[in-house]
Amino acid sequence: MHDLSDGLAHFQQDVFPAKAELFAHLATTHRPQTLFIGCSDARVVPELITQREPGELFVIRTAGNLVPAHTEGVDGGDGVAASIEYAVAVLGVSDIVVCGHSACGAMTALAAGQDLAELPAIARWLRHAAPAGAPAGASADPPPRELGALVRANVAAQLANLATHPAVARALAAGTLTLHGWVYDIPTGTVERIDPAVGRSAALAS
């Protein structure tokens, strides 16, 4: 906690004053144009890798950047669905990015077929990655190429899940919303774009 207190003091003394005008504007304005759905992984920082200022990204971070498909009448405290609905129907974001990443712990657990008996919440949550399909013959130490393929397939699967949410489906039909799939590579800082429609990818801003 000491590090956090030091950081907070630095923010208040040096960073905040330099951006005082921005924060004054943001005090009464919340109009992000992008919903960024990323992994909770500490190494994948949305505002850092996209170089966005406060107020520009509406962010949801979940283990494995998973987006459960829309389900009718589920009273499970579905914070992900509520945040998606708010971003699209209330804030009116024009773009949604689903961002996976290299060395993802959630995808590694799936690729390795790890025993999650002692981690029941994680086991339940990772079922939302099922459409991505764990590779056949999962091994305890999946090779990077296999893990990379699963990470990319998972981004495509989560984009499909995202489109099942009514607010997203309406905005897509109206042509006011565009979905994007990214995979961020931690050691190089590059982003690979995932195109769910044709199942191919291309280097983006590398």
Cα–Cα distance measured from residue 100 to residue 65, given in angstroms and rounded to the nearest whole number: 6
Minimum distance from residue 147 beta carbon to Zn ion (Å): 11
Contacts of 19 (CB under 8 A, 6+ apart): 53, 54
Using CB under 5 A, which of 104, 134, 153, 163 touches Zn ion? Answer: 104
Q: Pick the closer one to Zn ion by CB: 171 or 184.
A: 184
Binding piece for Zn ion, criterion CB under 5 A, among 40-48, 54-62, 124-132, 159-167: 40-48
- Give 58's strand partners: 35
Active site residue 101: yes
Q: Pick the closer one to Zn ion by CB: 54 or 189.
A: 189
Q: Tell me, what amino acid is at 1? A: M
Which of the residues 99, 104, 128, 152 is marked catalytic? 104
Active site residue 104: yes
Q: Tell me, what amino acid is at 168? A: V
Yes or no: say if 75 and 158 are a contact pair by the CB < 8 Å rule. no
Minimum distance from residue 61 beta carbon to Zn ion (Å): 9
Which residue carries 């190429």 as its tokens? Answer: 145
Using CB under 5 A, which of 36, 41, 81, 196 touches Zn ion? Answer: 41
Spell 94-112 as b/e; 16+ CB within 10 A means b: eebbbbbbbbbebbbbbbb
Q: Pick the closer one to Zn ion by CB: 104 or 171.
A: 104
Minimum distance from residue 201 beta carbon to Zn ion (Å): 18
Active site residue 43: yes
Minimum distance from residue 181 beta carbon to Zn ion (Å): 15
Which residues ranging from 64 to 103 are in contact with Zn ion (CB under 5 A)?
Answer: none
Which of the residues 39, 99, 152, 165 is marked catalytic? 39
Q: With 0-12 CB in 10 A as exposed, 13-18 as middle and 19+ as buried, what is 39? A: buried
Judged by CB under 5 A, how many residues of this single chain contact Zn ion?
Answer: 3
**CA-closest candidate to residue 162, choices 97, 100, 110, 79:** 97
Which of the residues 41, 99, 165, 180 is marked catalytic? 41
Question: Which residues lie near Zn ion (CB under 5 A)?
Answer: 39, 41, 104
Q: Which residues are catalytic?
A: 39, 41, 43, 101, 104
